[in-house]
Amino acid sequence: MKKFYILLIVLSFAIASCSDDLDLVPVGLLTEDNFPATDEDAIALINAAYPSTLNTALGYMNDLTTELETNGENSNSGGFLLGVMQWDPTNNYIDGAWSLIYNAVTRCNLVIEKVGASENVSPDLKKRLVGEAKFFRAYSYFTAVQFWGEVPLILKITDGTDATRDAVDDVYAQIVQDLKEAAELLPTASEYSAADKGRATQGAAYGFLAKVNLVWGQTSPNADAALQKERYSESVKYANLVTGYELEENFLNNWSNDNRNGKESIFATQYVQGQYGATDGGNHLLHCSFYGGFSNSILPHVYATSDKWYHDFDDRDQRKRGTYVKELYNPSTDSIFVFDRVRYRKYIDTSNIIASANSRDINRTILRYAEVLLLKAEALNELNGAPNAEAYEAINQVRRRAFRKFPVTVPVSEPGVEIPTGLDYAGFKAVIQQERVFELTFEQNRWTDLVRWRIYVHTLRSAVSNGYISPDYHKQDVKLQYYRFPIPKSQRDINPEGLWQNWGYDGYDPGKTGVNPYAAFEPQYANE
């Protein structure tokens, strides 16, 4: 497999540094009009846009900030502060995510403009590379708009100076446009050679169009009922276009080095041992989840706030032991080690357990077919105001795989496997919300899910008040302002006018954000 995700590129031409307000890669105006000169130059440019170094920030911002997870690092670290609901505009993970996202955007813009206009790049390759760039620009902005709301749309390599935050709906419209264009340009997964497996595909573009349209419909600040239905209809349409993928029979095959980019994987960040050093593959989710190894005296950097989440699974559900591990074979002692609190199983490399935390070379799942089925079921419920047979079938395929009922397209009568019919809109939505926990825990979806469902504060506070998790994790301290992360201080120091702060954080501009913009999300907390 080519190691195309982690490339430290030394460009062979002079680059005119541009002053900008987004801490972008200084690619500005290239002085060599003939760059890229070869197909290899063009491939190197797109390789730099792949989201390989964003994994820790996404994991921390999307998972640590929820009721399911907390952090075992020292109390001054940015990760610990995210885990105990005490982040601010100086948090290094929030700052790092912003920089990484806009660095990727800059690289994508470079490919779109320079490769797209080049006469030196093979036509078929040029088409694919521009498609990859549009896909990753959309992926970057989808992450950004969910984290920060209004964000600057930087669509050309000369943009950036005095940038201002663009409206949420404008950002989503650009994301959808980029994904549609990417889908027209990208190959299907089966059309890639073995050496290029793992690159962005048409199926990945369709899958993200399903997800983006659902989230946009649920969260648009301006959409009326008709526009929401249009978004949900588009979500269903694109979910149905995601073809050529199947559910893995073994849930854990999605995180096996013997099954990289398997039949369920739609898009994953590629990590191969040695990309960051002699033994380091770069996926820090392995390090964070199994730091300390076989020890009960050393907490991993990320761990579950309660074993309750493990016990919530049906014992017949293979995802129980695929998501968490309570006991694990320790090859150094040739015995079973019992953890006093569960660890996350998805990113423990059991083929190399002792070195797992340091080898870090399991692919990071970004989108897989099971999630597309759940997105489709949810969008159908939103579209019709109730689940239909198609929605039930989508979620029940996921359930049948979980309970090892194959083929998954054949209904079963065993109690507790399939979701019973007869649910109304609210009942089916609650089922979808729970199923996403069972299926997607520790896959960087939880914060964005709770935010788009408008149940973030209630969910965290209820977990504490109901005794599910300890108040020592401070999840009860969640506030409505946490519906968005703050604009990093480092960016506002450069451009305080264009990058006004989100409501509730130090230095926010009431002229821009007015009164609490999240009051209607969870009205019971509006006066706090």
Q: Tell me the two tokens of residue 173.
A: 């419209």
Q: Which of 328, 362, 396 is the last residue of a domain?
A: 362
Distance CA 374, CA 390 (A): 11
- Taking residues 102-126, report their average pLDDT: 93
| Of the candidates 118, 117, 99, the residue with the CA atom closest to the CA atom of residue 23 | 99
Is residue 22 scored above 70 in pLDDT?
no
pLDDT the model gives residue 487: 97
Percent pLDDT > 90 in the chain is: 81
The pLDDT tens digits of the residues spanning 161-205 come to: 789 999 999 999 999 999 999 999 999 999 999 999 999 999 999
- pLDDT, average across residues 516-526: 95
Q: Are 137 and 8 within one domain?
A: yes
Cβ contacts of 311 within 8 Å, gap of 6 or more: none
Q: Are 325 and 343 in contact (CB under 8 A)?
A: yes
SS3 call for 61: helix
Residue 270 lies in a domain: no
pLDDT number for residue 15: 26
Contacts of 76 (CB under 8 A, 6+ apart): none
| In a domain? residue 322 | yes
Contact 474, 135 (CB under 8 A): no
| Nearest to 10, CA basis, from 54, 49, 44, 51 | 44
**For residue range 439-455, what is the model confidence (pLDDT) as tens digits?**
999 999 999 999 999 99
What's the rounded Cα separation, in Å, for the pair 105 and 5? 15
- Which structural domain range is residue 297 located in? 284-362
What are the respective helix, strand and coil percentages of the chain, to the nearest 5?
50, 10, 45
Q: What pLDDT does residue 32 have?
A: 52
Mean pLDDT in residue range 85-95: 97
- Enter the pTM of the model: 0.93
CA–CA dist 106, 368 (Å, integer): 27
Say if residue 57 is in the same domain as residue 165.
Answer: yes
How many structural domains comprise the chain?
Answer: 2
Instruction: Show which of 362, 382, 402 is a domain's final residue.
Output: 362
Residue 35 pLDDT > 80 = no
User: Measured between alpha carbons, how far is 67 from 441 in angstroms, rounded to an integer?
Assistant: 11
Q: What CATH number is associated with residue 102?
A: 1.25.40.390
Distances (CA, A) of 42 to 61, 136, 434: 32, 15, 44
Give a yes or no: residue 290 inside a domain: yes
Residues 462 and 313 occupy one common structural domain: no
Do the bridges between strand 265-269 and strand 69-71 make them parallel or antiparallel, or are there none, so unpaired?
Answer: unpaired
Q: Is the residue at 142 inside a domain?
A: yes
pLDDT-wise least confident of 221-230, 274-283, 318-327: 274-283
Are 137 and 106 in contact, with CB atoms under 8 Å apart?
A: no
Could you read off the pLDDT of 399-414 as tens digits, one per residue? 999 999 999 999 999 9
Judged against a pLDDT cut of 90, whether residue 274 lies above it is answered with: no
Examine the fold and report which residue of 334, 362, 390 is the final residue of a domain before the chain moves on. Answer: 362
Are residues 12 and 158 both part of a single domain? yes
> How far apart (Å, rounded) are the C-alpha atoms in residues 464 and 67?
9
DSSP category for residue 353? T
Do residues 343 and 470 both lie within one domain? no
Please give the pLDDT value at position 34: 67
**Whether residue 1 is found in the same domain as residue 124:** yes
371-430 pLDDT, tens digit each? 999 999 999 999 999 999 999 999 999 999 999 999 999 999 999 999 999 999 999 999
Q: How confident is the model at residue 3 (pLDDT cuts 50, 70, 90)?
A: very low
Three-state SS at 172: helix
Mean pLDDT of 292-311: 96
Residue with tokens 């694990």: 328
Same domain, 350 and 463: no
- The predicted structure's pLDDT at residue 515: 86
- Whether the CB-CB separation of 290 and 302 falls below 8 Å is answered with no
Among 200, 148, 155, which residue's Cα sits nearest to residue 173? 155
State residue 405's pLDDT score. Answer: 98
pLDDT for 20 beyond 50: no
Kindly report the average pLDDT of the chain as a whole number. 91
